[in-house]
Structure 1
Amino acid sequence: MRVRRTAKAVGDFVIEVTGEFVGEVILSLLACALLGCLVLAAYLSWSFSPRLTVAGAGLLGLFLAHGAWRTFRGPAKGRRRGLAAVAAAGFVLAAGTACFLLLYGSGCGCL
């Protein structure tokens, strides 16, 4: 009986470690692909028009700053509507992407 329990515990451990390893590999590949796409988009944008790239980056920065302001400021009367809700969602998406890339993209040796 002890041998069976031990064998089952070892088997469960091996399956869990293998699953975690495969999950880490998949997340690392996804982070490398995302980082590569962001670099490619910046390169293509810069090669098309440096002025529009800087202007677009500035507008995106203002949009994300507005979203951060709407996300972290105290609750106002009523609901968020229109641009404020979209800006807050964009900020949350950008912050989540940045955290994901910090955690998994930092060890990416593909770039």
Structure 2
Amino acid sequence: MRLRRAAKGVGRFLVEACGEVVGEAVLSVLACVLLGGLALIAYLSWSFSPRFTIAGAGLLSLVLAHGAWQAFRDPTKRHRRGFAALTAAAFTVTAATALFLLLYGPGCGCL
């Protein structure tokens, strides 16, 4: 009976360890693909028009700054509507993507 319980425990440990290794590999590949996609977008945008690239980066910075302001200011009784909700969501998605790349990007061998 003890041998069977020990074998089940070892089996569960192996399945969990293999799952973590596969999960880490999938997240690292996803980070490499995302990093490559962002680099490709920046390269194509710059090769198309450097002025539009800088203007777009400035506009994106303003939108993200407004979203951060909306996300971190004191809540009011009203819900966010329209542009404020859109910029807050854009900031949240961008912050989550940056955190993901910060955690899994350095493990990417493509850099």
TM-score of the alignment, normalized to the shorter chain, above 0.5: yes
The one-letter amino acid paired with 2:47 is: S
- Name the structure 2 match of 1:71: 71
Name the CA distance, whole Å, in 2 between partners of 1:77 and 1:5: 56
Quote the residue 1:16 is aligned against.
16
Q: How many Å separate the matches in 2 of 1:86 and 1:8? A: 50
Please list the CA deviations of residues 5-57 of structure 1 after superposition, one character each: whole Å capped at 9, or x if unmatched.
11111111111000000000000000110010000000000000001000000
Percent identical pairs in the alignment equals 68
Q: Where do 4+ consecutive residues of structure 1 move more than 6 Å?
A: none
Matched residue, 1:33: 33
Q: Equivalents in 1 of 2:92, 2:22: separation in Å?
A: 28
Question: CA offsets per residue over residues 60-110 of structure 1, 9 Å max, x none?
Answer: 000000000000001124221110000000000000000000011121111
| Gaps in structure 2 of 5+ consecutive residues | none
Report the count of equivalent residues. Answer: 111
Give 5+ residue unaligned stretches, structure 1: none
Q: Structure 2 matches for 1:1-111, cutoff 5 A?
A: 1-111=1-111
Q: How many Å separate the matches in 2 of 1:14 and 1:91?
A: 39
